[in-house]
Chains A and B, each alone.
Chain A
């Protein structure tokens, strides 16, 4: 179980929320995880159960069907889901896509979509990456060209989380292909629109229960009212929402690293080699001591960053530094924890193998470590 006694971002109501959510996960999540990993996708029914219990998009105001809670509640959900072994499916909705809708949607869009996002009736994906444009979003080639009262969307996207399950796709497209960032808009595309199709559920190193997919747009017609935020202002919206996205990935990385550490401690205290517990070797104890120190610093930093974000003060540079540090340190912890498992660490039946393979992508998605350094360096 994730230890939270020394955390500084909690209070009684948050602790109660965490306890209830843990029981929910034990009942609805853990018994199904292996099956979801096998089938490459989480059941839609799990989304609905999350929604019914109030565990999706807690930040959505009550007038739109939500609980109107602050980001600390998102953090609790993310920590507990990750610690239990979840991939980044439902967290994407609660921490990332809902922010786009809540902060930039028109009244009509909010009234229509937010209640559905809260209940899990609508699963949302955000489609940025293309085969030729990853971290470099200005290189996006998908277009949304005005035609009377509609946009006609054409292009292809890849590595889209929730790609198979999605009912609605926030699509990054060029509404003015002659311009770079200034010609970019976010277009809401429902998955049942003619011309929209899903490609493969991609085979990855890890994150098996996450339906990461290709998406295709062939003359998909949507009304101009489907632009999210203002036309040609998509890049500014993206920049605004990336702060929370990067904080969210930091939280995921820290919780996953803690689980890996806890697995390594349990394993080495059990496992005997050369006539003693593996834990008793000085190399093991020193390795674990080093990891424990990093985890302590990580939780303290995270609580600081969460506090600043709740107060609306976390800067883009701070969020970049946070994502860079937490995902890279997570990686050191993962790799060391796997090594302490010996041959068992390479076997997928052990939790550490899954934690390790799921972890690698966090240094790449949501802006790679190199992009974090690039952004951070610009603020120096």
Chain B
């Protein structure tokens, strides 16, 4: 086994703390949260109390100022227990990061301390009914009105949509300008004109409150702009590598986890006078997955290392996401199959892991978008390949 070399003794101690938190505060309740379609706010407060949220936020904004690996530990331990409900990743890895990178001093002081404590829950509002991977096509408008902006439009598939207190919202301030007309706003969800729509019924991720959001003449001051007017698209582009890295962390972890569950299950389960693990088909399927899981882990850890050095480029992040996401979906499918009929029953963790997994090839940039990014890079210095690599 290739040993993981990223983590220090402090990280390992923190991991023990996070594990205990999951066992005590998450695992016993997750099935109920799936029925509820949402996790309780108290969980966020407890997670904040335990130091699980936004580990990298500096002390001056109420955080602990730790390195990115502490966030990674939290994500890995969430996925290790199959906890797809708590939307900590969006909150920590995206919303807090956006505010830290692009926020004014005032915005940081207002939101980050509350986010660290779990008192304010963050969400990212990009996707619209007619604009998924194609972000430039968004139609939500922010129109100037004196010193303010009026926001009108709707978003869909928004994680933490029912719970969120603050949204990093992608809008068009200039509908004629394409990417250059995109501006990000930091919207307080308690503002008049903001409305939450349905908590959407999905294939999996049942405890995650993925929702529609509506904006009807939501009035915000110009100081609510996050970053610069018209620079939203470029700002988002700079954060995509991090988002995709977090997805690779998820996929590498889930792959290892489901292989472990399946090895345990097949070693116990009897069929035709032997254990299921005694069949060569079982051994070969799991051997192949295990080999691929190790490769995925090595690639992911290397990308984490590069990211921490500020050297992870979007193409490598796209490669890591694509390779690990494809493996993730293959692993849950083959492991479910090795569980036989039980694999189709919701009470089995492999069943949930399977249903949860399917979104990974779509969300945060679909596999097809990853291929476009990789191809565009491959052909950028050559004559051909423009058409299919077009964004």
Measuring CB to CB, which residues of chain A are less than 8 angstroms from any residue of chain B?
Answer: 129, 132-136, 138-139, 158-159, 202-207, 272-275, 281-283, 338-339, 342-343, 345-349, 353, 356-357, 360-361, 363-365, 368-370, 373
Beyond A159-B345, A273-B133, A339-B362, 14 extra complex contacts between A and B, CB < 8 Å:
A134-B340, A136-B271, A202-B345, A204-B344, A283-B371, A342-B133, A343-B132, A346-B203, A346-B358, A356-B203, A360-B354, A361-B344, A364-B340, A364-B343
A residues within 8 A CB of B204? Answer: 346
Interface presence of B134 (CB below 8 A): yes
Q: How far is the CA of A216 from the CA of B308 in the complex (A)?
A: 58
**B contacts with A, residue count (CB < 8 A):** 42
B351 and A347: CB pair below 8 A? no
Contacts of A282 in B (CB 8 A): 388
* A281 partner residues in chain B, CB cutoff 8 A: 368
* Contact mask for chain B residues 344-376; partner A; CB cutoff 8 A; 1 contact, 0 none: 111100010011001101110011100100000
Residue of B nearest to A365 (CB): B341
Residues from chain B with a CB closer than 8 A to the CB of A203 are 345-347
Give Cα distance in the complex from A205 to B203, angstroms.
8
Contact assessment for B202 and A347 in the assembled complex, using a CB-CB cutoff below 8 Å:
yes
B288 CB to closest chain A CB (Å) equals 15
- Complex Cα–Cα for A204 and B286 (A): 24
Q: How far is the CB of A209 from chain B (nearest CB, A)?
A: 15
B202 touches A348 (CB 8 A): yes
Can you name the residue of chain B whose Cβ is closest to the Cβ of A345? B362
The answer to whether A347 touches B344 (Cβ under 8 A) is: no
* CB pair A364 B341 closer than 8 Å: yes
B270 at the interface (CB under 8 A from A): yes
Known pairs A132-B270, A134-B271, A205-B346; A274 contacts B391 (CB<8 A)? yes
Q: Which residues of A contact B361 (CB under 8 A)?
A: 339
Bound Cα distance A364, B343 (Å): 9
Please measure, in the bound complex, the distance between the C-alpha atom of A297 and the C-alpha atom of B64, giving whole angstroms: 61
A136 to B202, CA, bound (A): 34
* Interface of A (DSSP majority class): mixed
User: Which single member of A158, A357, A365 contacts B203 (CB below 8 Å)?
Assistant: A357
List of A residues within 8 angstroms of B390 by Cβ? 274
A342 interface neighbour in B272, B362, B391, Cβ under 8 Å: B362
A360-B133 contact in complex given A205-B354, A205-B355, C-beta closer than 8 Å: no
Q: Is B234 an interface residue (CB 8 A)?
A: no
Q: Which residues of A contact B347 (CB under 8 A)?
A: 203
User: Shortest 8 CB-CB distances between A and B: which pairs?
Assistant: A203-B346, A348-B201, A136-B271, A273-B134, A361-B344, A134-B340, A274-B134, A346-B359
Q: Cβ of A204 and Cβ of B271 under 8 Å apart?
A: no
> B380 on the interface (CB 8 Å rule)?
no
Provide the bound-state CA to CA distance between A203 and B203, in Å: 13
Identify which of B203, B336, B337, B340 gathers the most chain A CB atoms within 10 Å of its CB: B203
**Contact call A339/B343, Cβ cutoff below 8 A:** no
